[in-house]
Structure 1
Amino acid sequence: MRGHLLQAGVKYCSARRILTKASAMEGKKVLITGATDGIGKHTAARLAKLGATVLLHGRNQHKADEAAKEIQKKIGGQGHVHAYAADMAVLGQVRELASRVQKDHPSIDILINNAGVFPERKILTEDGFEQTWAVNVLAPFLLTSLLVKSVKERIINVSSISASSRIDFDNLNQEKGFSAHNAYSLSKLAMMMFNTELATRLSPPPTANCLDPGTVNTKMLLQGWGPCGIDIEDANHELYLATSPDVANTTGQYFVSDRPRRMPSIVQDISARQRLWNILEEQSGETFPE
């Protein structure tokens, strides 16, 4: 059912406006995290092929360099790909990534918070946070807070149709016992709440939207659920949000198969969103600029 729904979404996507001209993104700069494989790498390649300058992030510098070289070779002279490395589980490295990006590119057009993990056991980061929470929630919150004034057009946050419908503020760090699926679902609900609150605090541009990237046979999906999705080459939902003129002025929405969808009722709870926001500021040690 789930795979069928999102395969239908791919067909719908093809009927909507995704830029295809090789120079369509020329002059645009896009930072995409977690782009050394899977949907992130596919999206990075598509954006570069459209002429964008892609700032490709990976956890390992060698792997990021190899991915950048591979994409650059494939697209020829259409775009430019630059590799950056940082362990998103380490807040200090997230800060260093933001600093390097700002030094090299004082402004960027699009930020795609794509990086994510699905660890099967509880792992605490060196900052003391459960790894799923650290990578899937804290890292994008911190990176966005550090770069938000540099982003000119769009911020895209990756959530999931697997997101939970409730949040236990006393179990954000899996204090009550670890479940890989619960930790992941919690992190994706938190990204919806973060994105919605972010959109209320921004005066577009930039816009801020989140999405389910599709049920795609990535390493993460195979690890958590098995082969139940579509091919990576068909996963163009992040590309749609990054390039389509249809959503250029849309903000604060959650997209599934390129269409806005209702979010869990807790996302509409202003006090809950603000409580989460305050926790993320405290955990990250960073206050969002006004």
Structure 2
Amino acid sequence: MRPSLRAFVNAAQKFVTTMEGKTILITGATDGIGQHTAIQLAKMGASVLVHGRNQQKADAAAQKISKTSGGRGYVHSYAADMSSLRQVRDLAERVRKDHPSIDILINNAGIFPEKKILTEDGYEQTWAVNVLAPFLLTSLLVDAVKERIVNVSSISAGSRIDFDNLNQEKGFSSHNAYSLSKLAMMMFNAELAARVPAPPTANCLDPGTVNTKMLIQGWGPCGIDIEDANHELFLATSPAVANTTGKYFVSDRARSMPSIVQDAKTRQRLWNILEEQTGSSFPA
């Protein structure tokens, strides 16, 4: 294949030009990578369901996304505090009522708190928002998702899991809580892909080192601009990964995962804990 033709084919596989007729739910889309991804999807003509922690933020984000995208896509806002299992259930119920089926679910919401905070359900906040919320939301929507589930992990994910410290019982560390949550998301994604026949596919990714509020809070401004962060968009739209499932992507390429993610017994143990903590289970 000639170099110019190869470049054309590679570009065509990277992103589609239209998402007309597609409905996508993005959690944590009021700023950062979530909002940037929502804007790009709306520009492609998708119906974008924008989630935010409160209605005021969600409405403001939806208006900005609609305006920035030139009004091409339909944008609708939903509010829910992802640290509350009750509110996550309510979010799923409202989404299903308005949209009996959705094409893509992007579990993008995440936090990096500096102090240990227990949620109304008694869980450490990082664990609740970064792990329990996407597990519960996905369990409640999985049979309505037609094409893809995208879960956000991180290159900061740990390589081991201490089942006696999921709630930071041994002393709180913001970095430990975050890396634990992102490892758990990688394990959840791998087990989800093993349990749920595609479609929908289930893949996770490192969204890149991007100057979001979270990155600056935890590590300082050491990344790229949010406007250049398109890895989440790639995994949600690229034809090249339409039939790929159970993988972890870094810079749009499937990469190896920590050995613990490959351990089916350990994934099963985590899965059982997540079911117990959320009170939810997936269809067999």
| Seq. identity, % | 79
SS state at 1:17 partner: helix
- In structure 2, the partner of 1:212 is 206
- Do the aligned residues in 1 keep the contact of 2:43 with 2:73 (CA within 8 Å)? yes
- In structure 1, the partner of 2:4 is none
- In structure 1, the partner of 2:6 is none
Q: Which segments of 5 or more consecutive residues in structure 1 lack a partner in the other structure?
A: 1-13
- In structure 1, the partner of 2:15 is 19
SS state at 1:208 partner: strand
SS state at 2:138 partner: helix
- In structure 1, the partner of 2:169 is 175
User: Residue 262 of structure 1 is aligned with which of 256, 260, 271?
Assistant: 256
Deviation at 1:220, TM superposition (A): 0.1
Deviation at 1:15, TM superposition (A): 4.8
1:138 has 2:132 as partner: yes
Aligned partners of 1:233 and 1:74: how far apart in 2? 13
Deviation at 1:287, TM superposition (A): 1.2
Counting only pairs closer than 5 Å after superposition, residues 89-168 of structure 1 correspond to structure 2 as 89-168=83-162
- Structure 1's consecutive aligned runs of 4 or more residues displaced over 4 angstroms after TM superposition are none
1:249-281 superposed Cα distances (whole Å, 9 cap, x missing partner): 000000000000000000001000000000000
Aligned partners of 1:74 and 1:270: how far apart in 2? 44
- Do the aligned residues in 2 keep the contact of 1:207 with 1:250 (CA within 8 Å)? yes
Give the aligned residue type for 1:253.
Answer: K
- In structure 1, the partner of 2:70 is 76
Aligned partners of 1:170 and 1:18: how far apart in 2? 41
Aligned partners of 1:211 and 1:236: how far apart in 2? 11
Deviation at 1:74, TM superposition (A): 1.8
- In structure 2, the partner of 1:191 is 185
Aligned length: 275
User: Residue 275 of structure 1 is aligned with which of 252, 269, 273?
Assistant: 269
Give the aligned residue type for 1:19.
Answer: F
1:161-191 superposed Cα distances (whole Å, 9 cap, x missing partner): 0000000000000000000000000000000
1:232 has 2:226 as partner: yes
1:104-148 superposed Cα distances (whole Å, 9 cap, x missing partner): 000000000000000001000000000000000000000000000
- Do the aligned residues in 1 keep the contact of 2:49 with 2:78 (CA within 8 Å)? yes
- Do the aligned residues in 2 keep the contact of 1:18 with 1:239 (CA within 8 Å)? no
- In structure 2, the partner of 1:10 is none
Q: CA RMSD in A?
A: 1.0
- In structure 2, the partner of 1:201 is 195
Higher relative contact order at CA 8 Å, sep ≥6: structure 1 or structure 2? 1
1:215-256 superposed Cα distances (whole Å, 9 cap, x missing partner): 000000000000110000000000000000000000000000
- Do the aligned residues in 2 keep the contact of 1:48 with 1:80 (CA within 8 Å)? yes
